[in-house]
Amino acid sequence: MRLEIVTRGTDLLAECPVWLAAERHLLRVDVTRQAILERDVATGAEHRRSVHAPVGFALPARRSGLVAGIGRELHVLPGDSAPRVLAAVEPDRPANRFNDAACDSRGRLWAGTMSTERRSGEAALYRIGADGEVVPAVRRATISNGLDWDLDATRLYYVDSATQRVDAIDFDLDRGRLGTRRTFAAIDAGDGLPDGLTVDAEGGVWVALFGGGAIRRYHPDGRLDAEIRLPVTNPTSMAFGGVDLTDLYVTSARHRLSADQLAREPLAGSLLRLRPGVRGRLPHRFGDG
C-alpha cells in the first residue's frame, strides 16, 4: 500500500485529525505545542492557531468556527467573534486535561479527559450540549481516548487506553444515553496502547496503536481484519478525508522519544496519508441536531 508523507516530523503530539469537507482542509491539534492546525492538503498551506494550554481536540461547529478542548475548558472559537468558554470540567483535578472527542449526529459533544499522571479512575467521558450543559457519561476512566459510532448509531465504540481495549457501549441516540458496555476488541500491551479511533463507511473500526507502530481495522463483529505497519512508532489517530473520503490521514508523535530514537525514526511526528480501499464518513458538527 502506498504511503505518502504529508508533513515530515513537524508535530510533537498530533491528535484528533478531522476532515473539513467544504474547505477540503484537514484539521488537527498538536497537544503539547498548544496549537490548532488547519492544512490545505492541495496547496500545503497551513494555518496555526496558538492557544494557552494543552489542546486535546478541535472540532467544527454548526455555523462556523470550532469548539476546542483546551486544558479542562471547552472553548468556542467562532470565525467572526471573540472566543468564549462554554463549559469547564474537573476543577479539583489540575493534573487532568481534555483529550479526544467527537460529536454525535444530534450535535452533542462527547469529550473525554485524561489523567496526565495516569491516576486510575481519575478521568471521565462527558456529554456536552450546545448550551454548555455537562453530563458525566462514563466515570472512573484513566485516559479517555478515541470514540465513534457504528453505522446506525446504536453503538458507541470507546477507548480508555489504560484498559487495553476497545469497548462497545449501547447507545440511545434520541436521549443521548449510554447503556451496556462490553469488550469489543482486546489489545495485547505488547502490540501498543489503543489510542484514536474512527469508523469507516462499511462499519469497520480503525484504531491507532501508540507505541506499536501500526493501525488496525476490525470488523463490526470484533474480528481483526487488517493491520497496517507504519514508519512511526507512535501513531495517535486517523481520519478519512479527500474529495471521495478514501484518503486515510494518520497523525503521529515524537513526544518523549529520546535523541537516539529520533535519529532512528526521522518520520516521528509526521502526518501520513494512505488509501486502504474503503471510504470514510464525514464528521458531525457541534450544535447540529
CB neighbours of residue 164 within 10 Å: 17
CB neighbours of residue 267 within 10 Å: 18
Distance CA 58, CA 76 (A): 10
CB-count burial class (<10 Å; 0-12, 13-18, 19+) for 176: middle
243 forms beta bridges with none
Residues 133-145 as b or e (16 or more Cβ within 10 Å = b): ebeebbeebbbbb
Query: Active-site residue among 195, 225, 244, 260?
Result: 195
Q: Is 195 a catalytic residue?
A: yes
Q: Are 127 and 167 in contact (CB under 8 A)?
A: no
Q: Are 70 and 98 in contact (CB under 8 A)?
A: yes
Q: Please report, as a single letter, which amino acid is at residue 17.
A: P
Residues with a known catalytic role: 195
